[in-house]
Structure 1
Amino acid sequence: MKNKLEEIRKQHGITQEELAEKLEVSRQTIGSLENGRYNPSILLAFKISRLFKLSIEDIFIYEESE
């Protein structure tokens, strides 16, 4: 799943460490999300969307595989 998390985080002037603290996850989790190595749980996706006041679909791009 692709996402715009890094772009959105940088627009808000937040470091990976600060975002991790706000979401109660590790900085490594944020890095893995931004690099597409990890897909968030639905709970984490909701936390991220609420923090940035965006819809989940504005942050995470689901692409069905053929």
Structure 2
Amino acid sequence: MVAKRSAGSPPLYNRLATLRAERGLSRAELAERVGIHAQSVGFIERGDYGPSLELALRIAQVFDLPVEAIFSLEPLPPLSQSLYNQEKP
């Protein structure tokens, strides 16, 4: 379910630590909800490992967000920038 990044593969950026903090979830609590070990959550947060598609979808379900709001191949801007720097219609 969690795959080690191969050499030369692009990094997978994520907002897991931020989302966990916002929701008051520990690594162990998130791990239990998605069926992995708490250490695996840390590996994913640091970008050491990438989640499988199934695991990424389960994580997204826990946070009730689309996968692309949590994981990206490009660096993710801070959530505050995404929320407050939007142009008004």
Aligned length: 63
Whichever of the two has the greater Rg, that structure is 2
Query: Structure 1: which 5+ residue stretches go unaligned?
Result: none
- Give the TM-score, by structure 1 length: 0.91
Match of 2:39 in 1: 28
Aligned-residue Cα RMSD (Å) equals: 0.7
Give, in whole Å, the separation in 1 of the partners of 2:22 and 2:72: 18
Instruction: Identify the structure with bigger relative contact order (alpha carbons < 8 Å, sequence gap 6+).
Output: 1
Following TM superposition, the consecutive aligned residue runs of length 4 or more in structure 1 with deviations greater than 6 angstroms are none
Q: Using the TM superposition, give the Cα deviation of residue 61 of structure 1 relative to its aligned residue in structure 2, in angstroms.
A: 1.0
Is 1:56 aligned with 2:67?
Answer: yes
More helix by percentage: 1
Alignment TM-score, normalising by the size of structure 2? 0.69
Gap runs ≥5 in structure 2: 1-11, 75-89
Amino acid at match of 1:36: G
Give the percent of matched residue pairs that are identical in Structure 1 and Structure 2. Answer: 38
Of Structure 1 and Structure 2, the greater strand share is in 2
